[in-house]
Structure 1
Amino acid sequence: MNSLLVIAPYKFEGMWVFDDPAVGLRQEPFVSGADTIIDMLTQSIPNAAEGFRLVFSAQPFPGYEARFVWNRPEMGGNWYAWPEGGIEGWLCPALFKYFETAPAEIYVKASAK
């Protein structure tokens, strides 16, 4: 399994979603705070709603811009807190398409495509 993973979220019907044919996902939505976190991460990315690059990993990597800390499981997904952003968001069971178990931390970097 790769150490660094990448998806390209975009807005569809007013919601942040992403496609990843390699793992069988199409228009998978971000909900329950994860959408607000993406709004925060993309504030300085021009035309982010048309698509941006989101690199993520369970390990820190050079240039990561946010660290999310596991809080608790709920309804098959997991809640993660962004301490520096003062917010938490829920990641649905699609998380397990990328990780065998919910990582203790997730590091991310959002950038223009």
Structure 2
Amino acid sequence: MSYVTITNLRRTPYAWVYSDYELGVLDEPFVLGTSELIDAIMADQNWHTLERILVDTEDYPPGEVTITADLILSDGGWSRYVCSEYEDHEFNLCPHLFDYFEEAPKKLYIALEGY
């Protein structure tokens, strides 16, 4: 599988949001731990801008910072993951995950690019 690329990212006062114009998704917030994980990675890298997030289910996509996330629970809507590289940080992905994957992947390989 080729990796999913998430662009059109920006930080609001409350959360990171993304837009996927092809899917009609506008300013969808990353909530329930996801924005906090992005903030932690950006702080570690001393980044001020996040250019894109790449996600694959088989191997790390090309990127500057890579992490893995293991599925804990999926009820067909929200899916909870844990990232061991960041102190077992738990985060949730909303049903928009299924815009890109038929079912919640058991493992996500995530790469971030910023500056």
TM-score range, shorter chain: 0.7 to 0.9
Q: State how many pairs are aligned.
A: 110
Aligned equivalents of 1:62, 1:5: Cα separation in 2: 9
Aligned equivalents of 1:99, 1:72: Cα separation in 2: 15
Aligned-pair distance for 1:5?
A: 1.1
Aligned equivalents of 2:23, 2:57: Cα separation in 1: 18
* Residues 54 and 61, structure 2, Cα contact 8 Å, conserved in 1: no
Aligned-pair distance for 1:83?
A: 1.4
Among all aligned residue pairs of Structure 1 and Structure 2, give the percentage whose two residues are the same amino acid.
Answer: 27
Call closer, same or farther: CA 1:47–1:93 in 2, change over 3 Å: same
* Residues 3 and 59, structure 1, Cα contact 8 Å, conserved in 2: no
Call closer, same or farther: CA 1:38–1:74 in 2, change over 3 Å: farther
Task: Tell me the equivalent position of 1:56.
Answer: 55
Task: Tell me the equivalent position of 2:94.
Answer: 92
Runs (5+) with no aligned partner, structure 1? none
1:66 aligns with 2:71: no
Any idea what the Cα deviations from partners look like across 1:28-65, whole Å, max 9, x if unmatched? 001111111111222225322xx421111111135561
Aligned equivalents of 2:46, 2:108: Cα separation in 1: 21
Matching residue's letter, 1:61: Y
Task: Tell me the equivalent position of 1:39.
Answer: 39
Task: Tell me the equivalent position of 1:23.
Answer: 23
Matching residue's letter, 1:104: K
Which segments of structure 1 move beyond 6 Å, counting only runs of 4 or more? none
Aligned equivalents of 2:76, 2:4: Cα separation in 1: 24
TM-score by length of 2: 0.84
* Residues 17 and 30, structure 2, Cα contact 8 Å, conserved in 1: yes
Task: Tell me the equivalent position of 2:84.
Answer: 83
